[in-house]
Amino acid sequence: MKKHNFTQLLSDPCVYICRDHNGIAIITVWVNDLLLFASSDKAMTAMDDNVKSEWQMTELGEPSKIIRIEIAIDECSVTISQKKYIENILEKEGLKRANPIGMPLNPNTPLELNPDGNQGN
């Protein structure tokens, strides 16, 4: 990857990024699966050529699922979800019919310091 000017992210060692005159190119690696992302067609073509020059690659087109993460892509957004994975866990654990409940505290409630100044118990 370094040979093609990709830098491994410190925050995730399975992600590599390259910024050059073509734009930004990102490669994510999961065992022997790769996802390629680019900011332009030119950056995607250059990245694709680099990967193919080093490894045998089978292109599967736009991703719809990887490592239990569902991916939906449209003109304006990319949406990821693990809904089916979570539903399978609930089914396995006998919680498929469990009733969801909301948070006991409204997440928009502003929190204030305790006026007495004590920490409470």
The rounded average pLDDT for each run of 10 residues, N- to C-terminus, in the chain (121 residues) is 91 94 92 88 92 87 85 87 91 88 80 73 53
Task: With beta carbons less than 8 A apart as the criterion, state whether 4 and 50 touch.
Answer: yes
Task: With beta carbons less than 8 A apart as the criterion, state whether 36 and 50 touch.
Answer: no
Tell me the pTM: 0.62
Task: With beta carbons less than 8 A apart as the criterion, state whether 39 and 51 touch.
Answer: no
- Strand 78-81 and strand 69-73: the pairing is antiparallel
Q: What is the pLDDT of residue 118?
A: 67
Alpha helix (H) residue ranges in the chain: 41-54, 83-92
Q: What is the pLDDT of residue 114?
A: 77
| Dist. CA 62–CA 64, nearest whole Å | 7
